[in-house]
Amino acid sequence: MDEIKPLRILIVSQYFWPEDFKVNDVAFDFVQRGHEVTVLTGKPNYPKGKFYKGYGFLSRRKELVKGVKVIRCPIIPRGKGGAISLVLNYLSFIFFAYFTSLFRIKGAYDIVFSHLTSPLTSALPAIWLKKRFKLPLVIWVLDLWPESVAATTNIKNKQVYSLLNKVVRYIYNKSDKVLVSSRSFFNSVESKIKDPSKIGYFPNWAEDTFTGNENVSYELPEFPMGFNIMFAGNIGDAQGFESIVAAAEALQDEDINFVVVGDGRKYDWLQNEIANKKLRNIHLLGRHPLKSMPLFFKKADAMLVSLKDEPIFRLTVPAKIQAYMASGKIILGMINGEANAMINESKSGYAVAAGDYSSLAEKIIGLRGTSEGQRKQMQNNALAYYKNNFEKRTLLDRLETTFGNIAKSNNP
């Protein structure tokens, strides 16, 4: 393989450090590899919906973070995550990033890279920069639009989805390379792109927190006694907490606990459900720093991942699966599609259909009855599957090669 020459990479992402997203790893790692990295992003406000300490609507427009030049545009915070707040949050990034890209992005670059969780519309500033600097554009699609909008909102207007479809088609076709985080995304992207050869598979990996041997000091809350199933992450509509609550009800007298670490739009709803149903076996521990998660994971007998029974979620592989596997944890899935197949194929645990809380309850009881040796084998299987499929350095090597080849073909 030819040596990759140092590249000048311009990253466009609505989210960036100190928010926790994979784009952080790309930027920081590529600087360590000798590349020059500039990031156009908004002011950090995810997930709590208010600006992080030290940031404001107009303040802290520019900073240097671990060698990465960060240019921040104003943004309207997402607030409590309601529909109107999210729309304003998404549109404000596009609006302010446009003017920021016009007046504050200067210099020379070799490639533009756009990290696309929701909203996919955040790629529009990257397209404007591609045109302005005559650069190739690589996008990384981690969430399918408009499918995920249909699954997670109450929007029924056909005109809205028609418009979103047109915008997504425009983004895909203006990109030189479309990377997708799940193989199941291919059909959706192929149906919207003129040249399917531009599509490539590029999965998630686990943060260094889950793969290193860092000695983290953090005071943990008290854990319940018994067999503990842990859910870690966003408590939202997509995660199907109605079914998790139903599984907990079914196991109320089994000395089995559901330990929930995280926060989100359905936190208050979940709290009310626990009170109304008088559930003693769901324990809400709140949100804690990412660096502390390995300490929480060690307290769990198994980790839970779930998504609702929606067509879009059959195509989705939640990034927490990689974190669970990298930590060598047994995984219980109440999820469809590729993620379900991955858990069962890896023999790292058990996966049942989305919403099938009675089968999940049966699997949990069965897991509790397995021997220590059987559980150890599942843990080893999880770690081995991670190393063979999602190891961070291997994936970033591949991304670096992709960037190098595309930049070279654009400027031979």
Q: What is the CATH number of the domain that holds 400?
A: 3.40.50.2000
- The one-character DSSP state at 141 is E
User: Is 239 in the same domain as 177?
Assistant: no
User: Is 351 in the same domain as 215?
Assistant: yes
pLDDT at 310: 86
**Does 38 fall in a domain?**
yes
Q: In the predicted model, is pLDDT for residue 349 greater than 80?
A: yes
Q: In the predicted model, is pLDDT for residue 345 greater than 90?
A: yes
**Does 1 fall in a domain?**
no
Q: In the predicted model, is pLDDT for residue 56 greater than 60?
A: yes
Average pLDDT (261-273) is 94
Q: In the predicted model, is pLDDT for residue 269 greater than 70?
A: yes
The number of distinct structural domains making up the chain is 2
Q: pTM surpassing 0.85? A: no
The torsion defined by the Cα of 204, 366, 235 and 181, in degrees rounded to 10, comes to: 20
Q: In the predicted model, is pLDDT for residue 137 greater than 70?
A: yes
User: Is 166 in the same domain as 214?
Assistant: no
User: Is 300 in the same domain as 353?
Assistant: yes
Q: In the predicted model, is pLDDT for residue 1 greater than 80?
A: no
User: Per-residue confidence at 412, pLDDT binned at 50, 70, 90?
Assistant: low
Average pLDDT (316-333) is 94
User: Per-residue confidence at 260, pLDDT binned at 50, 70, 90?
Assistant: very high
User: Is 364 in the same domain as 375?
Assistant: yes
Per-residue model confidence as pLDDT tens digits over 65-100? 999 999 999 999 999 878 889 989 999 999 999 999
**Does 25 fall in a domain?**
yes
**Does 2 fall in a domain?**
no
User: Is 295 in the same domain as 260?
Assistant: yes
How long is the chain? 412
User: Is 201 in the same domain as 226?
Assistant: no
User: Is 263 in the same domain as 288?
Assistant: yes
CA distance 238 to 283: 20
Asked if residues 323 and 207 have their Cβ atoms less than 8 Å apart, the reply is: yes
pLDDT over 70, % of the chain = 97
User: Is 108 in the same domain as 254?
Assistant: no
**Does 21 fall in a domain?**
yes
User: Is 243 in the same domain as 177?
Assistant: no
**Does 327 fall in a domain?**
yes
Residue 163 burial (CB count, 10 A): 12
| Boundaries of domain holding 96 | 8-205+391-410
CA distance 18 to 120: 21
For all residues of the chain together, what is the average pLDDT? 93
**Does 185 fall in a domain?**
yes
